[in-house]
Amino acid sequence: MIDKLKVSRVINADLEDCHALVSDIERYETWVSDLREVAIENRDDEGRVTEATFRVAAMGRSATYSLAYDHSEAPSAIRWELVTGDILKRLDGSYRFESVPDEPNQTEVVYELALELAVPLPGFVKRRAEGRIAHAALDDLQAQLED
Which residue type is seen at 92?
A: D
| Element spanning 19, H or E | helix 15-23
Give the per-residue pLDDT at 147. 80
Cα 11 to its chain centre, rounded Å, is: 16
Q: What is the pTM of this model?
A: 0.89
pLDDT in tens, 83-127: 999 888 899 999 999 999 998 899 999 999 998 877 766 565 556
List the beta strands (DSSP E) in 1-147: 3-11, 35-43, 49-58, 61-70, 77-85, 88-99, 107-117
